[in-house]
Chains A and B, each alone.
Chain A
Amino acid sequence: MNFLRGVMGGQSAGPQHTEAETIQKLCDRVASSTLLDDRRNAVRALKSLSKKYRLEVGIQAMEHLIHVLQTDRSDSEIIGYALDTLYNIISNDEEEEVEENSTRQSEDLGSQFTEIFIKQQENVTLLLSLLEEFDFHVRWPGVKLLTSLLKQLGPQVQQIILVSPMGVSRLMDLLADSREVIRNDGVLLLQALTRSNGAIQKIVAFENAFERLLDIITEEGNSDGGIVVEDCLILLQNLLKNNNSNQNFFKEGSYIQRMKPWFEVGDENSGWSAQKVTNLHLMLQLVRVLVSPNNPPGATSSCQKAMFQCGLLQQLCTILMATGVPADILTETINTVSEVIRGCQVNQDYFASVNAPSNPPRPAIVVLLMSMVNERQPFVLRCAVLYCFQCFLYKNQKGQGEIVSTLLPSTIDATGNTVSAGQLLCGGLFSTDSLSNWCAAVALAHALQENATQKEQLLRVQLATSIGNPPVSLLQQCTNILSQGSKIQTRVGLLMLLCTWLSNCPIAVTHFLHNSANVPFLTGQIAENLGEEEQLVQGLCALLLGISIYFNDNSLETYMKEKLKQLIEKRIGKENFIEKLGFISKHELYSRASQKPQPNFPSPEYMIFDHEFTKLVKELEGVITKAIYKSSEEDKKEEEVKKTLEQHDSIVTHYKNMIREQDLQLEELKQQISTLKCQNEQLQTAVTQQVSQIQQHKDQYNLLKVQLGKDSQHQGPYTDGAQMNGVQPEEISRLREEIEELKSNRELLQSQLAEKDSLIENLKSSQLSPGTNEQSSATAGDSEQIAELKQELATLKSQLNSQSVEITKLQTEKQELLQKTEAFAKSAPVPGESETVIATKTTDVEGRLSALLQETKELKNEIKALSEERTAIKEQLDSSNSTIAILQNEKNKLEVDITDSKKEQDDLLVLLADQDQKIFSLKNKLKELGHPVEEEDELESGDQDDEDDEDEDDGKEQGHI
């Protein structure tokens, strides 16, 4: 620089000129020279003067330089010089040559020149367009100039960039510049650009800033990277802090997963450079930005879940338990873990399961608590541990129960030499270190926060004070120490614990009042006129007494609500009491603590209030004031209201339970409905099957009916109600006919016989006349037919049997169906009561059910009809059987008749034969006598015609004989 300046000075202006004149000359040359070289040299000279004579150059040359930027864009060299010069006059960064005391003045200079420069918005737009120039000599000074403009007058410049088209997008391209210097200065530019401007932050994020910055961090080696990593982390923080939209984008873009490798710091103690500590610190803060308790609850919890799922929390916990980690990193890691687990059950459960790699392994919680109650640990670390413990217990009833249980008699003895969280807390509560007292008291109070069960459980805790003395309850010990008048932090801590413990817990209040020393101590504290120091303790005592009144269930006669109030009025005075109570929220540290959950105190003296306790005060201050002012009558009314409220509460809880139950029922019913639907479908298919079966049966039955009808037609003539009996009427009629025939035959034969007899008589009378009678029977055919009949009957019977079996089967199926449908019908109406949704479903199902029922009813009817028909058939069968029996009897009679007639026939045949012989002999006698015989042939042929198959042989024999 010195060399340059010397050269330039010598060339352009003589040593006799003052600087102002030189600058004036140079400006003239820049403005008027037609030669580019001339102008370039002049600008270069201005640049060399601009650091030392910032004011002069700024005032005189600014206008000309801007003009150069507008007109000489084709020459990157002159543009570069101009930008450098402008940077020098605007920037406050390089102040090597400026003394300390003039710093302020130079800052003013910078902002004034910035104001002049941005007065014309086009100047900024011009600068933005110059950044598109790839030339290093243009782009780099351009970036630096814009950065310093943003640093000087951020909001104004941001606004100009925001409204210039594609302004932000262009600047984002700097991150993709392959030249590291420009990329790195681009990061710085974006830092300045995004500072507290949500709109720009979002655009930058939209332009893939997260991706690019995370890539740069990875490329640079994460926490081992240099200052570039730090710059990127600061930019990331700018983009994410208090910007919900960007946080959501960050989470949705799966960038949380990319943070995990940041915390993979080995156990080796080698590398903890200052840069690495800074980087890690920023990385931890970035995690905290995403899960800050001030973010919308939904956003924080989804980030917390993502951090557990990708293993980030686990990674942080390994740092927590690692050795050789610098204290401030460890502290910040504890704070980070705290906020990652706060109010998130899964993460809290995981944290409870983390063990320190010691021998034997101890839970991380215990190891941390050991640090909290250890005086030698750094104050910030102890605060961080307390925060971690609070976050672990926040909305974590399970964790609260586990901590309190380590104090209960049942679990204490068994563990022996290992220290439990509860023991550490008790140790801290009663140690001589007031900070430990305070921390332990607050920690214990958090184990009771909004948890009535644990408040009651903690009453059971007994402490062994010294050998020989009886054990003292924890509550008793707290009040004992309180009354001993120790350091303010100890007493404040204990009072906060007691207030938390007693609030919303009448049993604890009773226990507290049971100790007759407590109320006089409190009234004494409040009534005394003490210095400012003690005002806070007085306020807390008033709060405790107020809680003892407000949550008093009047179970102790000596300290009923009314009596306590009278006591206040007599000893303290209502006004005085309320005034003392008001000291709490008027305390200067109160509002500080109420802002953030994290216990963050600049020094140990400020450690007074706990965040959750401030919430309790806010909640109770008003109601206690009211309770104190209220008369006894009002109190009673209040009591009643309270009771009704409680009733309402119980009603509400009752309804809640009912709703829960109904929900369960609903679920069950839904399942039932689905199973019923299934069943219904099955049943329907069964029904259709059965319907088809029934149809088959019907068909079979009709077939049978037709057959039976035919049969009965056969038997018709023999039976009275042929259609009713319907069995074999035809055959019987046939038999009858045959019998009739036979009879006529017989008659014929008899007549023939009679003729023959008369003939014989004639013959006898004259000579001898032959007579024959032939009778045949059809009984054989008859019996065959009956056998057939019988067979048919048997098949009919078997058919009937099978049918009846099927019918019974059907009936049982139907019975099952009915039962199912009944079960259906019983279960169906229940959902109708619970919910309308279900109701519609059930009506649907009921509809189907009724349809089903209808169908089954129809089926039933059909089955009934069938069975009726069956019985009818049976009757018919019976009657036909009886008719058959009658027929058989008749047949038998007929057979007997037939045999009789056969015998007669035989007799007649014998007679005939005799007569034949007689005739023959008579013929012979006649022949001998010389009489011709003519009737012989006639007789013989007539004989053969009349003979039946049975008697054929006989006839032939007879014929031949």
Chain B
Amino acid sequence: MAYAYLFKYIIIGDTGVGKSCLLLQFTDKRFQPVHDLTIGVEFGARMITIDGKQIKLQIWDTAGQESFRSITRSYYRGAAGALLVYDITSTRENTLKIVIGLSLMFRRDTFNHLTTWLEDARQHSNSNMVIMLIGNKSDLESRREVKKEEGEAFAREHGLIFMETSAKTASNVEEAFINTAKEIYEKIQEGVFDINNEANGIKIGPQHAATNATHAGSQGGQQAGGGCC
């Protein structure tokens, strides 16, 4: 149960792209073809190992529907990582269809919608949040609408990590979550993240934190005494 670090993730993206299925595959290693619409957010957790260290991932799977957008926005600030998911087979208007190239002119609004997600995330999150772009449903090759190269290009353009996954076959699902954690871990090693600020979505494990907590506690107590009297 003891962990070296705890990372908070959020999963965002349009409705029906398979966010909840990705989470279920990652936490329970199973696939549920028919999934209820997520209401608000749902929670999941799992332990992983990076660089020989136990890392606990707490993941909040958000509802993709527009009506929940204001609720899900509340989760951006406290997350260290975000998985931005789209559906590679999607023919729906509101998911990423064609990201680059000439079609951009004809499909301007679709493009805007994906960038809206990113803008939204960047606006409400802390600046260091690691974002992984995920093209899900890679098992449905025959129905593919978005080329892998297009996803890669979009990710490159916006400084994201990219991966195609399949929640159904579990292909790349582990990797998506773990690679995001690796990126965060590297940022911690580089000193980019302020790990003592839990609002960043990162927490040090109990064994490390023990000293910090008592320190902060005594400090808080003193201040409280002063303020009250």
Instruction: Report the interface size for chain B: residues with CB under 8 A from the other chain.
Output: 29
Residues of the B chain whose Cβ atoms lie less than 8 Å from the Cβ of A162:
70-71, 74
B70 close to A163 (CB less than 8 A)? yes
Instruction: Report the interface size for chain A: residues with CB under 8 A from the other chain.
Output: 31
When A169-B77, A202-B40 are in contact, do A180 and B58 touch as well, CB less than 8 Å? no
Contact flags (1/0) for A146-185 with B, using CB distance below 8 Å? 0000000000000000110111110000000011110100
**A203 contacts the other chain (Cβ, under 8 Å)?**
yes
List chain A positions with a Cβ less than 8 A from chain B: 136, 162-163, 165-169, 178-181, 183, 198-199, 202-203, 206-208, 211, 215, 219, 245-246, 248-249, 252-254, 257
4 new A-B contacts, CB < 8 A, other than A168-B74, A169-B78, A179-B228, are A166-B77, A180-B228, A248-B43, A249-B58
16 residue pairs bridging A and B, Cβ less than 8 Å apart: A163-B70, A169-B78, A180-B227, A198-B40, A202-B40, A203-B71, A203-B74, A206-B60, A206-B75, A211-B198, A219-B217, A245-B41, A249-B58, A252-B58, A253-B45, A257-B1
**B108 contacts the other chain (Cβ, under 8 Å)?**
no
Residues of the A chain whose Cβ atoms lie less than 8 Å from the Cβ of B45:
248-249, 252-253
Interface 9-residue window, one of B83-91, B96-104, B160-168, B218-226: B218-226
Residues of the A chain whose Cβ atoms lie less than 8 Å from the Cβ of B43:
202, 245-246, 248-249, 252
When A246-B43, A249-B58 are in contact, do A136 and B217 touch as well, CB less than 8 Å? no
Residues of the A chain whose Cβ atoms lie less than 8 Å from the Cβ of B70:
162-163, 165
CA distance A843 to B39 in the complex (A): 50
Residues of the A chain whose Cβ atoms lie less than 8 Å from the Cβ of B44:
248
CA distance A146 to B40 in the complex (A): 24
CA distance A199 to B43 in the complex (A): 12
Q: Which residue of B lies closest to A211 (CB)?
A: B198
**B143 contacts the other chain (Cβ, under 8 Å)?**
no
A370 CB to nearest B CB, Å: 39
**B73 contacts the other chain (Cβ, under 8 Å)?**
yes
Residues of the B chain whose Cβ atoms lie less than 8 Å from the Cβ of A178:
220, 223-224, 227
Q: Which of B14-47 contact A (CB under 8 A)?
A: 39-45
List chain B positions with a Cβ less than 8 A from chain A: 1, 8, 39-45, 56, 58, 60, 70-71, 73-75, 77-78, 124, 198, 213, 217, 220-221, 223-224, 227-228
CA distance A180 to B225 in the complex (A): 8
A179 close to B78 (CB less than 8 A)? no
B220 close to A206 (CB less than 8 A)? no
A206 close to B78 (CB less than 8 A)? yes
Residues of the B chain whose Cβ atoms lie less than 8 Å from the Cβ of A202:
40-41, 43, 60
CA distance A168 to B77 in the complex (A): 11
Residues of the B chain whose Cβ atoms lie less than 8 Å from the Cβ of A180:
224, 227-228
Residues of the A chain whose Cβ atoms lie less than 8 Å from the Cβ of B228:
179-181
B110 CB to nearest A CB, Å: 25
CB < 8 Å A-B pair total: 74
A2 CB to nearest B CB, Å: 25
Choose among A136, A180, A183, A246 the residue with the greatest number of B CB atoms under 10 Å from its CB.
Answer: A180
B211 CB to nearest A CB, Å: 15
Q: Which residue of A lies closest to B74 (CB)?
A: A203
Residues of the A chain whose Cβ atoms lie less than 8 Å from the Cβ of B78:
169, 206-208
CA distance A202 to B224 in the complex (A): 28
**Residue A254 contacts which of B1, B77, B227 (CB distance < 8 angstroms)?**
B1
Residues of the A chain whose Cβ atoms lie less than 8 Å from the Cβ of B220:
178
Residues of the B chain whose Cβ atoms lie less than 8 Å from the Cβ of A253:
45, 58
B161 CB to nearest A CB, Å: 23
Q: Which residue of A lies closest to B8 (CB)?
A: A206
CA distance A252 to B56 in the complex (A): 9
Residues of the B chain whose Cβ atoms lie less than 8 Å from the Cβ of A245:
41-43
A870 CB to nearest B CB, Å: 62
Q: Which residue of A lies closest to B220 (CB)?
A: A178
Q: Which residue of B lies closest to A254 (CB)?
A: B1
A203 close to B224 (CB less than 8 A)? no
**Residue A208 contacts which of B1, B56, B75, B198 (CB distance < 8 angstroms)?**
B198
A108 CB to nearest B CB, Å: 31
CA distance A169 to B198 in the complex (A): 13
Choose among B217, B224, B228 the residue with the greatest number of A CB atoms under 10 Å from its CB.
Answer: B224
B44 CB to nearest A CB, Å: 8
CA distance A167 to B70 in the complex (A): 10
**Residue A199 contacts which of B40, B77, B198 (CB distance < 8 angstroms)?**
B40
CA distance A208 to B44 in the complex (A): 15
Residues of the B chain whose Cβ atoms lie less than 8 Å from the Cβ of A165:
70, 73, 124
Q: Which residue of A lies closest to B69 (CB)?
A: A163
Residues of the B chain whose Cβ atoms lie less than 8 Å from the Cβ of A203:
71, 74-75
When A179-B228, A245-B43 are in contact, do A199 and B71 touch as well, CB less than 8 Å? yes
Residues of the B chain whose Cβ atoms lie less than 8 Å from the Cβ of A219:
217, 221
CA distance A207 to B79 in the complex (A): 10
A206 close to B74 (CB less than 8 A)? yes
B196 CB to nearest A CB, Å: 13
When A206-B60, A246-B43, A253-B58 are in contact, do A169 and B227 touch as well, CB less than 8 Å? no
CA distance A179 to B226 in the complex (A): 8
CA distance A219 to B217 in the complex (A): 8
CA distance A202 to B58 in the complex (A): 13
A170 CB to nearest B CB, Å: 10
A179 close to B74 (CB less than 8 A)? no
Q: Which residue of B lies closest to A252 (CB)?
A: B45
A395 CB to nearest B CB, Å: 24
